[in-house]
Amino acid sequence: MGERRVRYHLLALAVVLVWGVTFVCTKVLIAAGLHPVDIFWIRFVLAYAGIWLYIVLTGRDRKLWYGWKEELVFLFLGITGGSFYFLTENTALAHTQASNVSFLVCSAPLFTAILTLLYRRFGRGRFVDSLEKVRLGWPLVGGTILALAGMALVAFEGSRLRVSPFGDLLAIGAALCWALYSLFMGEMARRYGTVTATRKVFFYGLLTIIPFLFGSDRGFSLELLRPFPVWGNLLFLGFVASLVCFIAWNLVIDKLGNVTSTNYVYLNPVFTLLTATLFLGERMTPLSALGCAAILAGVIWAGAAKTD
């Protein structure tokens, strides 16, 4: 593995670490009275403002329109990686166990591998050529099974598995959204640059969430934003977890490939558990620690999948 690839693996690890922390941040904000739709809207507005400030200061590409075909792809990415991903994930939490959601959403790498293999087999065009060439062999299959088993230990340790069809389907929908986002983002980042591609994702994510801002059960008030834990967590979600991490993640997809990069999503529950243990006083049991070790081993094993 070259030195440059090692850097991108470390960058992927850092991004997933931050995204693992975001579950705890979101939990704090929901407890403070914010609706999940408002949390998404505020964090993406902050990120979109931040990326435009960066573009103005650095003199990067400010073009607003790239043609119908390209804009439709950016719209698709804004939906799958932005509005619908967060909407399905957060709504699922209201209809099924949190353990179900954490397990099903983090199955995105499995869906990414399956969709990549299918798309490379039956698809055509530039997006097919941009996808990672990964064989369906024991490293990929065995690593995926081991990581999923570890996730099950972390997610369901201490709780009973209960099937809630609507909520569970929403969580699966979120995983599929992220898998689809991973299929097409690499080529768009390569063609237009990670900053431009990320800017377009933020824009269309905000645009497509607007209809959901008018729900009657939200009860949003500016008074909710006054406490430091609220605006502090929102700033972290907007500028670090969204602005910085989306740019970094899109770069990782471009440099490592959509399957290898998405495998790091398996580590989300590990970092969430560690953060909750440190800051929320939650307890890590021997069984959940074993699950974390299995996830890490599975990610390493799946990452060893040979290319064609």
> For residue range 234-284, what is the model confidence (pLDDT) as tens digits?
999 999 999 999 999 999 998 888 888 888 887 777 777 777 677 666 666
Which is higher by pLDDT, 79 or 131? Answer: 79
Concatenated DSSP letters of the chain: --HHHHHHHHHHHHHHHHHHHHHHHHHHHHHTT--HHHHHHHHHHHHHHHHHHHHHHHT--------HHHHHHHHHHHIIIIIHHHHHHHHHTTTS-HHHHHHHHTTHHHHHHHHHHHHHHH--SHHHHHS--B--SHHHHHHHHHHHHHHHHHHHTTS-----HHHHHHHHHHHHHHHHHHHHHHHHHHHH-HHHHHHHHHHHHHHHHGGGGG-TT----GGGG-SHHHHHHHHIIIIIIIIIHHHHHHHHHHHH-HHHHHGGGGGHHHHHHHHHHHHS-PPPPHHHHHHHHHHHHHHHHHHTPPB-
Mean pLDDT of the 135-145 span: 73
Q: What integer pLDDT is reported at residue 155 of this predicted model?
A: 62
Q: What integer pLDDT is reported at residue 23 of this predicted model?
A: 73
Q: What integer pLDDT is reported at residue 219 of this predicted model?
A: 64
Which is higher by pLDDT, 104 or 69? Answer: 69
Q: What integer pLDDT is reported at residue 308 of this predicted model?
A: 44
| Residue 156 pLDDT class (50, 70, 90 cuts) | low
Q: What integer pLDDT is reported at residue 158 of this predicted model?
A: 55
Q: What integer pLDDT is reported at residue 118 of this predicted model?
A: 83
Which is higher by pLDDT, 198 or 157? Answer: 198
> Which of 60-64, 73-77, 125-129, 141-145 shows the highest mean pLDDT?
73-77
